[in-house]
Structure 1
Amino acid sequence: MKAVLIIISILILVFVIVQLYAMQSQNNIETYQYKVNQKFEDFEIRTYDSSLFTSVKLSGNQYKDMSRKGFRTLASYIFGDNKMNESIAMTSPVSMSLEDSMTMMFLVPKKYSKEDLPQPNNTKIEFRQEPNRKVAAIKFGGWANDRKIKKYREKLMEALDKEGIQYSNHFYFFGYNAPFEVFNRKNEIIVDLNNENEAKESLQ
């Protein structure tokens, strides 16, 4: 019995150390920077500057399956599966377009330009420059799944319709945590807003 208690205590200690390390790592990781234009009860309006991403187009539209496949592909590239065998720092969030054929994207650290990045060994990986954008974003916690993504996408659409804010069909999922992180998990659904919204005083 004593041995069992010792093993349980060790496992708990390891778990706490891993979680503390994960939270500390999140504080040091480079993120996709944005400015909050306006906050509503369930969502906020943001602007993002143009940024460079690595991306891979996926064949399906189910988060459960495609997120694993996309993450493995892009993580392999940044961990050294490239022409220079160079490691590239992980960034946050991981982005997935919510379309019939999903695209997963990793933000490229700002120190790199498109010309500086090592060429991937996997020809399916591309470099993608996202333009300046204005979006609406809604947050939710816990582990993401297809049901939650659908729920919060619909909740965001309902909230935007209620406020009379026009939006595009370009929805994305943003995930901010590694799978092993348990506490303070953060996910978002964002949607690009139509250009005509920029003229609305209510969003300034």
Structure 2
Amino acid sequence: MKILFISLGVLLLAFIVVQLYAMNAQRSIETYPYVVNKKYVTFEIRSYEASLFTSVKLSTKEFKEASSKGFSILAGYIFGGNEKNEKISMTSPVAMSLEDSMTVMFLVPKKFNKETLPQPSESQIEFRNEPAKTVAAITFGGWANDTKIEKYKEKLKVALDAEGIKYTNRFYYLGYNPPFEVFNRKNEVIVELQSENRDLIKK
């Protein structure tokens, strides 16, 4: 019995250490820069800067398959799977386009541009310039799955319709936490807005 309690104590200590490490890592990681233009009850309007991403397009619309395969391919690149065997810092969030063929994207750290990024070993990986954009964003916790993402996508659409804010069909999922992080998990669904909303979204 004593050995059992010691083993459980060691496991609990290891769990706490991993969670503290994960939370500390999140505070120091480079993130996709934006400003909040206006807050509503269930969502907010944001303006994102033009940014560069590494991306991989997958022939699936299932979140679990796309996130697992896409993350693996892109993580291989930033962990050294490139012509220079160069490690590139992880960024946040991991973005996924919500389409029939999902595209998984990692933000490129600001110190790089298309010319200075090492070429990937994996031919599926592309460098993608995302222009500056205005979006609506809705946030939810826990672990994401297809059902949750669709639920919050529909909730966001209903809220935007109620406010008379026009949006495009370009929806994205944003995930902020590694799979092993348990507490304070953050997920978002965002959608690009149409340009004629400018007067509606002023502070």
Structures share a fold, TM > 0.5?
yes
Verify the 8 A CA contact 2:165 2:200 in the aligned structure 1: no
- Number of residues of Structure 1 aligned to a counterpart in Structure 2: 203
**1:17-56 correspondence runs (5 A):** 17-56=17-56
1:174 is matched with: 174
2:6 maps to 6
> Residue type matched to 1:170 in 2?
R
Q: Give the Cα–Cα distance (whole angstroms) in 1 for the partners of residues 13 and 98 of structure 2.
A: 38
Q: Partner residue of 1:203? A: 202
- Cα deviation for residue 64 of structure 1 reads 1.1
Native 8 Å contact 1:172 1:191 kept in 2? yes
Distance 1:49 1:33 in 2: 6
1:156/1:127 CA distance change after superposition, 3 Å: same
State the one-letter code of the partner of 2:45: I
Provide the C-alpha distance between the structure 2 equivalents of 1:152 and 1:161, rounded to a whole number of angstroms.
Answer: 14
Q: Please list the CA deviations of residues 112-165 of structure 1 after superposition, one character each: whole Å capped at 9, or x if unmatched.
A: 011000000111100001000000000000000000000000000000000000
1:73 and 2:84 aligned: no
Contact 1:84 1:118 in 2 (8 A): yes
2: CA distance, partners of 1:70 / 1:54: 11
SS in 1 for 2:21: helix
Distance 2:163 2:102 in 1: 28
1:97–1:172 Cα contact (<8 Å) kept:
yes
Q: CA, structure 1 residues 144+201, in 2 after alignment: closer, same or farther (shift >3 Å)?
A: closer
**1:112 to 2:112 alignment:** yes
Partners of 1:202 and 1:93 in 2: how far apart?
24
| In 1: Cα distance, 2:201 partner to 2:79 partner | 44
Alpha carbons of structure 1 residues 159 and 16: separation in structure 2 relative to 1, 3 Å = same
What is the correspondence of 1:94-113 to structure 2 with a 5 Å cutoff?
94-113=94-113
SS of 2:12's partner is helix
| Structure 1 residue 3 displacement after superposition | 0.1
TM-score, normalised via structure 2 length: 0.99
Q: How does 1:56-67 map to 2 (within 5 A)?
A: 56-67=56-67
Q: What amino acid is the match of 2:167?
A: Y
1:137 corresponds to = 137
CA positional deviation for 1:203: 3.1
Gaps of 5+ in 1: none
- Are the equivalent residues in 1 in contact too, given 2:43–2:137 (CA < 8 A)? yes
Could you tell me whether the CA contact under 8 Å between 1:98 and 1:172 is conserved in 2? Answer: yes
TM-score, structure 1 as length reference: 0.98
